[in-house]
Amino acid sequence: MTHKLTSLGALAAGFGIAGAALAQTTAPAPAAAASAPENTLPVVRARAQAEPAGKDSLQVTTTRIGKGTQDLRDIPQSVTVVTERMLDDRNLDEFRDVLRNISGVSFLAGETGEEDIRLRGFSLAQAGDIYVDGLRDVAMIERDAFNNDRIEVLKGSASMLFGRGSTGGVVNQVNKQPFGLTQHVVSLSLGTGNDKRATGDFNFRTGENAALRVNAMVQRADNDGAEVSKQGIAPTFRWGIGTSDEFSVGLYHLDYDNVPNYNHPWFVVDGQLKTTLPAKNYYGLASDHLKGSATHGTLTHVHRFGDFGGRAELRTTLRHGRYERDLWASVIRFGTTDGAPTTIDNLGPQTIVTRTPKGRISESDITQLQSDFSGRFTWGGLRHEIITGIDVVDEDAKRNNNFAGAASGLNTTVGTPNDGASRDDTRGTPLFNTFDARSIGLYLQDTVALTDTFKLLGGLRYDRFSASYTTQTTTSGAGVVTPGYSFERDDSLWSPRLGVLFQPDERSSYYASVGTSYNVAGDTYQFSPGSPSLRVANTPAEKSRNIELGGKWELLANRLSLTAALFRTEKYNERNTDPDTAATQELLSGKRHASGIELNVAGRLSAAWEAWVNYTWIPEARIDSSNVALNATGTGAQVQGDRPGLTPRHSGSVWTTYQLTPAWRVGAGLNMRSAQNPEGARHVTAERFTTADLMVETRLAEGTTLQLNVKNLTDELYADMLYRGFYTPGEARSAQLTLKTTF
């Protein structure tokens, strides 16, 4: 790793030198400024905002998810933004809780508890489509929102911007940044399940254009056995704020040692998945755990150019992160009681519940260098908006996906959840499979204003992805030896993006776009079977495209943003196992698509009334081509003609607040998903659900509020995360009381 870091450091230094050279041509030196004639105008330097955008609003109009700072109206795709106001209003602490408020999102209950998120039916997390400030985040880790200023979701294929992945879209976590005021926010939350959470957001102005911001969090809860124990800290120092050369250095660390509510078993009655056990019941062992940490350090330099007719900047970021995760959980099943198999008719307090161990352990190191230029200029009599850049990523991942140990034999009953039974960890030292990957991407996009109302957008990206995967020789309990192997693969890929925008005025924008994406064989930190003799993983990248027509409007004197879009996302060479040689290769023989409508509303309907609406309708989704044969019983993997799993027709979220008096504010919201199938269980349908949330906030004093949140008001029992053999229930009714003070 040392030589890799050295190489990346040298490249980072090169970008820094280039930025410094450009700075010399665009900003006068102090001596030159001192000797300037008296009638020379002084250099005007912008200053950072006193408050981050979105802190006191559900509406935002600019973003960096499209690379560079852009107006949302200039991005020819659907973008949904969850602001800090929304995070606070709905008391959203965990990353998955935030995404539950995004339409089109569904969840796979991963076989070993990992975060596998679907957007419009296509995988996000396994493909690494989650980012932090525009840089790729490691897949399958735990996350918390304590350091998030907002979370942005770009929907539809976007490999031109982000490289591999992004079939359904990408999620960008925007971290809080220091700003030019000394201001602190402290909150304490107490809730059901003996939940206790404290956060601190401390911003210190340390100079004319420098500030230090420290965010911290600690949380403890027992949740009837499903325990939460985590803490995090994220200091960031920023200087040169708003000047021609701005720098920041930051550290993020999250540590957790939880007891997960891994799954609940289901019954299938007339093709419907039946949820029967109370959502709050924990049937795992007291020794089960999900523990680990996420740590990364980030260095950023921004150079702002003075000789462009608008925003122009070069942003260079270097980040290195270390991520660890150890899951040891219990798969919960109904056992045989008094010699009789369990059915929904004989289910009762004495029904036996079995607990089978499941384990996964992983370690990841990722180093990234990214440099992006965005700017406006006139050439050939036309206005151009350019975004271009380079990113280099080095990933070293170690995985043991089956680190479960021997069965404990510690059963319980339906009537005795959280029975306190425990086992000793005798798993020993894990054998790791290793995945090492290196990638470099170069991209360029130009948006040309042909007239005052028409713009054409064209972009192209090239990626080189190289990876190697090595497995260890293993011996089963029966003495069967499975030899290890090593695969390597290189992929070179091009990703185009095209669009047209019609903007007749400052308040409306209409667009059409076509974007592409690809998923390499190593997206999940491993290669599928290949030819051991050739040492090559034989499956090329899957490819996808997204076609979208839409409009974006600013209404009610720009207080309210409205977007609507028609989309079709298609993966046209999906990876399928070769039925003739299943042990050695896969084929790009599959095809699927999803088509629908997207709607977003965010902002103020009046001075007192705010609203946020996010809705996705996918009436048409289908497996268009597959070599998977139909199972005679109608069960098993999906086949040609099926609707893809985890693709609900309807999904949406509504949140609205009203300022009753200067001291009292109320809010209410709904989250809903229609019926959907798990992947690999085409015979099962999970029923639709709608949950309701309430919020009441009162101002106790200047800068101090007391807020009550009630989630899942009706205590709806529903399957939130689905797998082919079980489900994870949605959160039972809960309440949190939060005291917050700003000083």
* Tokens of residue 519, six digits: 């998923």
| Sheet strands side by side (includes 719-722) | 122-123, 115-119, 105-109, 719-722, 727-729
Cα separation values, 266 from 281, 680, 712, Å: 14, 15, 21
Give me the amino acid identity at 641: G
Rounded to whole angstroms, the Cα distance separating 450 from 444 reads: 19
On the question of pLDDT at 147 being above 50, the answer is yes
8 Å CB contact between 500 and 485:
no
- % of residues, the chain, pLDDT over 70: 88
61-65, 488-492, 670-674: range with highest mean pLDDT: 670-674
Question: What is the per-residue burial (b if ≥16 Cβ within 10 Å, else e) of 289-315?
Answer: bbbbbbebebbbbbbbbeebeebbbbb
On the question of pLDDT at 324 being above 60, the answer is yes
Rounded to whole angstroms, the Cα distance separating 596 from 549 reads: 11
State the DSSP H helix or E strand holding residue 352, giving kind and residue range, or none if neither. strand 352-379
Domain spans in the chain, listed from the N-terminal domain onward:
2-25+57-353+361-742
**What is the model's pLDDT at position 529?**
56
Could you tell me whether strands 130-132 and 169-175 are parallel, antiparallel, or unpaired per DSSP bridges? parallel
Cα separation values, 518 from 156, 160, 443, 447, Å: 12, 10, 15, 23
Out of 145-154, 297-306, 507-516, 579-588, least confident range: 579-588
Could you tell me whether strands 433-449 and 382-400 are parallel, antiparallel, or unpaired per DSSP bridges? antiparallel
Rounded to whole angstroms, the Cα distance separating 567 from 123 reads: 17
629 pLDDT tier (thresholds 50, 70, 90) = confident
**What is the model's pLDDT at position 128?**
75
**What is the model's pLDDT at position 538?**
66
* Tokens of residue 179, six digits: 């700003």
For the segment 575-622, what is each residue's pLDDT rounded down to a tens digit?
776 666 555 556 777 899 999 999 999 999 999 999 999 999 999 999
Burial class (CB in 10 A: 0-12, 13-18, 19+), 44: exposed
Rounded to whole angstroms, the Cα distance separating 232 from 214 reads: 11
Dihedral sign (CA 502, 506, 509, 514): positive
Burial class (CB in 10 A: 0-12, 13-18, 19+), 104: buried
* Tokens of residue 86, six digits: 């929304």
φ, ψ (nearest 5 deg) of residue 375 = -170, 165
8 Å CB contact between 699 and 739:
no
CA atoms within 13 A on the CB side of 565: 32
* Tokens of residue 380, six digits: 């050939």
**What is the model's pLDDT at position 10?**
38
Cβ neighbors of 417 (< 8 A, separation 6 or more) are: 224, 225, 281, 282, 283
Residues comprising the chain, all counted: 743
Rounded to whole angstroms, the Cα distance separating 228 from 570 reads: 39
Helix, coil or strand: residue 309: coil
Helix, coil or strand: residue 334: strand
30-39, 110-119, 262-271, 714-723: range with highest mean pLDDT: 714-723
Can you give the three-state secondary structure of 489-538, one letter per residue? EEEEEEEEEEEEEEEEECCEEEEEEEEEEEECCCCCCCCCCCECCCCECC
**What is the model's pLDDT at position 652?**
98
The better pLDDT of the pair 632, 86 is held by 86
On the question of pLDDT at 194 being above 70, the answer is yes
Rg (CA), the chain: 26
8 Å CB contact between 706 and 697:
yes
State the DSSP H helix or E strand holding residue 332, giving kind and residue range, or none if neither. strand 313-334
**What is the model's pLDDT at position 39?**
39
Region at 372 (left for phi over 0; alpha for psi -120 to 50; beta for the rest): beta
Cβ neighbors of 176 (< 8 A, separation 6 or more) are: 52, 147, 148, 149, 201, 213, 215, 234, 236
| Domain 2-25+57-353+361-742 grouped into CATH 2.40.170.20 | yes
552 pLDDT tier (thresholds 50, 70, 90) = very high
Rounded to whole angstroms, the Cα distance separating 91 from 82 reads: 12
